Each structure stands twice: as C-alpha cells, then as structure tokens.
Amino acid sequence: MVHERARRDYDARLNLDDTLYDSAALVKAASGADALLICPSDKMTPELVDQLPASLKIIACFTAGYDHVNVEAIKARGLTLTNAPDRLTEATADITFLLLLGAARRAGEGEALMRRQGGWSGWHTLFMAGTDVSGKRLGIVGMGRIGRAVAKRARAFNMTVHYHNRTRLSPDQEAGAVFHPTLESLLPVSDFLSLNCPLTAETKGVLDARRIALLPDGAIVVNTARGDVVDDAALIAALKSGKLAAAGLDVYTGEPAKISPEYPKLPNTFLLPHLGSATLETRTGMGMNALDNLDAFFAGRTPPNLVV
C-alpha cells in the first residue's frame, strides 16, 4: 500500500530489496530528489547531510525515533525534518509486555530447552521457576505514548504503576500511576523497570551501575527504547551477579552487527531483534504517516509530525 501510494503521488525511486546504503550510495540515490524517506539504518551524519543535493527540501523519517539524524546539520542546511510517531504505540507496548513476561517466566530458556535440547526430563517443584508478574510494581521511565500504553497493559495484570517523566502527567493520563520526580525515587519501588524514554544527551547511559544498585534485588529490566540508554557493562554485570533476575531486550547499543556478545550467552536474558513496531499493520501505518508528512509539506502546509 505504501509503495503504491508513493508511486501514484510521486516520482518515487524505491529501494525494494532493502539494500543498506552506505553514505556514498545514499548521496547517489538522492541525486536530484526533492525529498528523502529514510529508515534508522540511514545515518544522517553532518558529513552526509553536507553532501546531499541542493534539490533536497525535506527528510521524512519512517520511524518515531530520529536519533540517527543530526538535527543541527539539518537545521544548518535549512531542511525540514519529520518523524512518524503516531502508528507504533500499541505494537511497541505489546512487545514491551512480551519481553516483560518472557523475562519473568524464563521463556527464552524454555524455548531453548524444547528446540535445542530435545525436551525436558520431567516435572519437579522448582523446575524453570520464574517470577510472578501479577501484583508486582512496575516502574516506567518515559511516560509518553508508549509508556502510557505499557501502563494500561500493566493494570490488566494488577500491577502498581510508578513512573518518572520530565513533567508530571495530568490526573486523567496518570490513571492512578505514581509520579516520581527523580529516577532515584523510582528505582527502589520497581520490581520491573521498563525503559520507554527517547534517546537524548540526558538519557544516554541513564541506567548505569549506580542506578541499577538502587533497584530491588531480583528486579527485571525491559528495554524497548534505545540500546544506548543502558550501560551494557553495568547491566551485564548485574545479570551475572544475580542483582537482577533477568532482562528483556529489544534494542541494543551497536545494533545490529555490534551488540555485546555477552547478552546471548546469558541464560537470564530474553532477546528480540528490534521488533517493537514489526507488524504489517504498524509498518504500513508508519509509511503512510511519513507520506502524510510529505503530502502536507509539498502542499504548503505544516507537516503533522514536524521535528524541525
């Protein structure tokens, strides 16, 4: 649907086989273009932005996140930048809860047992015993669209929701969640910690060794935000020591090719390959959202998801 619409409304050059362009290939592909629709693998460094053709007017991100784009370089070129945040909330919240449940109930270990070790020998009292989710305390870092959708799912599990956000939500958006003005206040009451914040200078490495130490012993960490909000060495050490019972991860520093090799070795990690928005319905909606931004821009209107 997205391809058909792009072809119908634009002179579109489509990357139908999902080739990963390096900088030179991307600059070549953009030659003479008025707009670029980019994915997270397209790293808009200052050097690359400087080489983009003079014809270019707008860059539309396929995703909600735009940490792969140097916004200052975009501003300096006088380009418009948009993102597509409206369609991925529910799918990403679903994945967050999949990770939370999978980590708590040792689903990765159970899957490996069934697939690679030929089944199990029998039942005993502590066989594959994990951690209850129902009735526990969930701390959410970042209470935007996705954080609020995660909180909604948590209430169905009778979890008590606590959150830290740059600003406190209105009472109707809080829906009973407990606000914490600092992470240091949130962490000690988080049996489960869900990272749902954007990657910024302030949130890079925000979950470090000092803050992990503030979590309850046996806590479980889930990350569907960005890999760089976590200090990998600190998280891995806590998983090895038993300070943390488990982690559920969908995003990683250095993904996809340079993630820490320690994570797959740990039995108490439940790992997914950045599947947060990976449903056909959601990805189609994201593409349509990006095209909505282009349509508005070229019609002389403010794009609905303007970044700069």
What's the pLDDT tens digit per position in 171-180? 999 999 999 9
C-alpha angle with apex 195: 192 to 199, nearest 5 degrees? Answer: 165
pLDDT of residue 115: 87
Rounded to two decimals, what is the model's pTM? 0.92
Mean pLDDT calculated for residue range 262-279: 97
Same structural domain for residues 151 and 96?
yes
Give yes or no for residue 215 having a pLDDT over 80: yes
Segment 150-156 shows an average pLDDT of: 98
CA 155 – CA 144 distance, rounded (Å): 17
CATH of the domain at 231: 3.40.50.720
Evaluate if residue 109 carries a pLDDT over 70. yes
The DSSP element (H or E) to which 107 belongs, if any, is: helix 107-116
- What integer is the mean pLDDT of 218-226? 98
145 lies in the same domain as 9: no
Q: 93 and 235 share a domain?
A: yes
**What's the mean pLDDT in 37-61?**
95
Model confidence at 118: pLDDT above 80: no
- Specify the DSSP element, H or E, that contains 222: strand 219-223
Instruction: Name, in order, each residue with C-beta under 8 angstroms of 231's C-beta and a sequence gap of 6 or more.
Output: 205, 207, 208, 209
Same domain, 95 and 40: no
117 pLDDT band (50/70/90 cuts)? low
Q: Provide the domain limits for residue 153.
A: 89-271
Catalytic residues: 226, 255, 274
Q: How many DSSP H helices and E strands does the chain contain?
A: 13, 10
In a domain, 305, yes or no: no
Cα(221)–Cα(235) distance, rounded to whole angstroms?
9
What is the tally of structural domains in the chain? Answer: 2
Residue 151 included in any domain: yes
pLDDT at 261: 97
Tokens of 13: 């050059």
pLDDT computed for residue 230 by the predictor = 98
Do 120 and 10 sit in the same domain of this protein?
no
CB 172 within 8 A of CB 116: no
